[in-house]
Amino acid sequence: MAITPAELQRNDWLAGHLAARGETFVRAEQVRDNPAGAVFAIDTDRGRCYLKTCAGPSAHEPALSAALAAWFPQDVPAVLAVDPAQGWLLLDDAGPTLRERIRAGDDRARSVEMVRRFAALQRNAAARVDDLLALGVPDRRQSRLPELFESLLEDRAALHIGREEGVSEHDFARLQAFGPTLRALCDRLAALGLPDTIQHDDFHSGNVAVRDDDYRLFDWGESFVGPPLGSLLIALRDAKWILEHDDALLDAMREAYLAAWSDFAPVERLDEAAAISFRLAALGRALSWWSVLQYADDAYRAENWDAVPYWLLTFLNDTPMD
């Protein structure tokens, strides 16, 4: 159920958790809203925290965030409280985002450290796949991707076949015939032996808070369990198109991230794995948007109807960085 800033001022759950920290509510401002929930900046007499309301495809985020904070407290914002029944998540303010800092003139090379820190978290989380699945984190491991792909293709309405900027009849036929190739890609990636782990699926400079030498990842609502390297795709796209990093810095980000997996395979095999993973990550984005749009209202679907076709065609044409 949607809630307003004014209603938060009178909310006993929020007031109680603030009081337990010796804080008093001052005001709330909604800073984000989408079908999977809203984010409110909560100002108190002692500082700021954030309340996120999670629903639909992001319903696992409060429990996941609490688990990550317990397992890896140095890598995520402190979780102040969770209400699983309401899907509420109260987070400490971890500082400005890396995107804000870089735009204000901070060292662009911090992007390299960002991906290095995330790779380390993924390595550590690989031992907790069963725990992650038990928390309700979606399962998109390689063995399940062909099945999920076929399910998406069955929803012709989501593909907007024949509509401009949708999937053409020709490309729909190509997608229908792509199943064996997808299974072969999954098999090639599996042969490298990289472990399944947490995939953020929206990992970029706007979802990493930086204060001094602390890097803390947040906004885990689109995360899933799957092969690891695909998380780098959105980070590189953000670095290229939003932060406008040069090619040398993009290469440094890629090298730093892949270096974390170098005990599994030599560099040339990791390059192959990254190419496959980026392509599969585009399919993952299509699946994420498909989930969100099924839960969305008409206005949100009308605004974002082309997201599923875009990412599906990106996957089909193998153009993840374009």
pLDDT in tens, the chain (322 residues): 589 999 999 999 999 999 999 999 999 999 999 888 899 999 999 999 999 999 999 999 999 999 999 999 999 999 999 998 999 999 999 999 999 999 999 999 999 999 999 999 999 999 999 999 999 999 999 999 999 999 999 999 999 999 999 999 999 999 999 999 999 999 999 999 999 999 999 999 999 999 999 999 999 999 999 999 999 999 999 999 999 999 999 999 999 999 999 999 999 999 999 999 999 999 999 999 999 999 999 999 999 999 999 999 999 999 999 9
What type of residue sits at position 211?
Answer: R
Closest by CA position to 148, among listed 2, 320, 321, 287:
287
Closest CA to 171 of 18, 322, 315, 10: 315
The answer to whether residues 235 and 204 touch, using CB atoms and an 8 Å cutoff, is yes
Q: Locate tokens 């290229």: which residue? A: 240
pLDDT at residue 278, rounded to an integer = 98
pLDDT of residue 1: 59
What is residue 84's predicted lDDT score, i.e. its pLDDT?
A: 87
The three-class DSSP label of residue 215 is strand
- Domains of the chain are 5-92 (3.30.200.20), 98-317 (3.90.1200)
**Element of type H or E holding 175:** helix 169-176
115 token code pair: 């991906």
pTM: 0.96
In terms of Cβ atoms closer than 10 Å to its own Cβ (0-12, 13-18, 19+), residue 322 is exposed
